[in-house]
Amino acid sequence: MKFFLDTANPDEIRRALRWGIVDGVTTNPSLIAREGRPTDEQIAIICDLVDGPVSAPVIETETRAMTMEGRSLARIHPNVVVKLPLTQDGIAACSELSRDGIRINMTLCFTAPQALLAAKAGACYVSPFVGRLEDTGAPGIDLIRDIVAIYRNYGFETQVLAASLRGPAHVAACALAGAHVGTMPLKLMESLFLHPLTDKGLEQFLNDYQKTFAFEAISGR
């Protein structure tokens, strides 16, 4: 499963890139607004940092306006993936833009039929929101499994980009369910490294090593 970082903050991106595990970046209007720059400027900064797909969201909500904005975003950098909402207007814009070779990420997906529409419209990615769905009492991981199975049944090339992941268990469950990509904030990505037994084991190994060589130094070996 590919890892995308869900942020618009360049410092967070630089920090995560050091690990060599980040395959792309996703953004949304809320994340971009926090950085205080217009979308096109912020996306250009991110694309200069990341050698991978960068999802750039449209702000417009009507098909023609979304299509025009999507074309403008796609011209910023070859890595841009235009992010559209999974609405009737969004699907229509996806169909038009994808026919012209512009990659699309259909976001705010909460049902398998919505994901089917995204694939038929030619989307490169569909983003089911696991955590937000589970907030309503619905099984978010089941949605990932259903979409993966439907796409496999019909040979759709659209990739399942699991979003709204709330913890390491979500990441593992989405990987087991066959999601192609998991996008997550920096805090969650950092938490994937952590386990108390890893820290305890490393401490024990280092202590044993130090004791052995301290004894040899004292004994003159």
Q: Active site residue: 83, 120, 200, 211, which one? A: 83
DSSP state of 159: E
Helix, strand, coil percent content, the chain, rounded in steps of 5: 55, 15, 30
Helices (H), 18-111: 29-35, 39-49, 63-74, 88-99
DSSP state of 110: -
Residue matched to tokens 């609405």: 87
Whether 120 is catalytic is no
Inter-residue contact 159 to 125 (CB < 8 Å):
yes
Catalogue the active-site residues: 83
